[in-house]
Amino acid sequence: MLAQILPGKGKEVPVKFFAIFILALVSGLAAGNKTQTAPANEPSPTGPGYTLIDTGAVTITARLKPRRTTKPLTVGDQFWVELAVRHHRNIKVSEPFAESLGSFVILDRNLVTRYQGDTVVNIYELKLAAFAPGERALPLFLTTYPAEGKILAAHSDSIPVKVASVLPEDMKDINDLKPQIPFPNLLPLWLALGLLAAAVLSFVGIRLFRRWRKRRLEPALLPEPWEEALAALEAIPTNEWLSAGKVKRYYYAVSDVLKRYLTRRYSFPAIDQTTSEMRLAMKRKRIAEKADFIGFFQMADMVKYATYVPALPEMEQAAQEARELVNKTTPQPETVPPET
């Protein structure tokens, strides 16, 4: 079998020859790497281009800043770490970094530089958050600087951090998946029918409530003034009150019935007027029975507001006189003349 290596040349090279060429190239590269061995006195590097040391001209320390709450640190909560890098002013150092943040993420950072003689102190405040619960440890933060023709790296200590879970303690895992909805799915149809039924019931209920409230608010039809007055006079217990000596109560009741009758019959506020005021109002209304009404009210005033007590037959006749006054002023039905 032949393979096309260079398109457009028209020459075919056997696949076997191509495989031998690739194998030889890989073998040569492996042999070249074996001949380049590191000197025995050179420290083993911990990263590309720098050597990790424990003590040197540059130091870096890390500490957790106190939190403003006593609640445990949970997944997603923010906390601050302070890094202090100390070095001589003539030494150039890099900004702190970590080879791997693991389960942490840096959200923000601030830098404050201070001087202590020839020593420079760079204070880095890092805002971090954890996205995995459990017993965790902050990564080593490194800062590199040149020394004796090499790049050295100072590192901070690892700080343990406990991150609590936000899930309930009794929750073992996420909820199971819900079963598949059978097809056709009738749930939307049932929801639409339910909403329609609720709308119809609401409409009917509102109509019934408005009708009931309208009937409740409508005032009851009052009887005719003369019918009301005759019924009220009939309901007064004349014999009972007079035998019990309740003379003033009796005259108050009879005169109030007549005042209400005049108020409704002739449309003036007789129920709130004195006898003198009623005389003027009845004169303006040109009521023919004015003298009879005023005479009755004057007699009633003498009993109500003075010490006058009529004889028993006269008192019993008071209710009857009131009935006669009502009957005299009751409108008579119109008579239709006979046809000729």
* Boundary of a domain, candidates 144, 163, 182: 163
- Percent of all residues in the chain with a pLDDT value above 70, rounded to a whole number: 81
Q: What CATH number is associated with residue 86?
A: 2.60.40
Residues 237 and 143 in one domain: no
Residues 247 and 321 in one domain: yes
Give the residue with greater pLDDT, 269 vs 1.
Answer: 269
Q: Residue 120, SS3?
A: strand
Residue 31 CB-density burial (10 A; 0-12 exposed, 13-18 middle, 19+ buried): exposed
Give the Cβ contact number of residue 261 at 10 Å. 25
Predicted local confidence at residue 332, as pLDDT: 83
Residues 86 and 156 in one domain: yes
- Cβ contact 252:304 at 8 Å: yes
- Cβ contact 103:129 at 8 Å: no
pLDDT, tens digit, for every residue of 88-101?
Answer: 999 999 999 998 88
Predicted local confidence at residue 256, as pLDDT: 95
pLDDT, tens digit, for every residue of 160-218?
Answer: 999 988 877 766 666 677 777 677 778 888 999 999 999 999 999 999 998 888 877 76
Confidence of residue 328 (pLDDT cuts 50, 70, 90): very high
* Boundary of a domain, candidates 146, 163, 180: 163
Query: What does DSSP assign to residue 167?
Result: S
Domain of residue 292 covers 225-328
Residues 233 and 317 in one domain: yes
Give the residue with greater pLDDT, 97 vs 1.
Answer: 97
* Boundary of a domain, candidates 143, 163, 183: 163
Long-range contacts of 275-278 (CB under 8 A, 24+ apart): 275/301
Predicted local confidence at residue 19, as pLDDT: 40
pLDDT, tens digit, for every residue of 17-30?
Answer: 344 334 333 333 33
Predicted local confidence at residue 148, as pLDDT: 82
pLDDT, tens digit, for every residue of 291-314?
Answer: 999 999 999 999 999 888 999 999
pLDDT, tens digit, for every residue of 126-147?
Answer: 999 998 899 999 999 999 999 8
289 occurs within a structural domain: yes
> Could you tell me the pTM of the whole model?
0.38
6 occurs within a structural domain: no
Predicted local confidence at residue 167, as pLDDT: 77
Residues 231 and 159 in one domain: no
Give the residue with greater pLDDT, 111 vs 55.
Answer: 111
96 occurs within a structural domain: yes
Q: What is the number of helices (H) and of strands (E) in the chain?
A: 8, 12
Residues 76 and 155 in one domain: yes
Domain count, the chain: 2
Of 108, 60, 63, 98, nearest to 81 (Cα)? Answer: 63
179 occurs within a structural domain: no
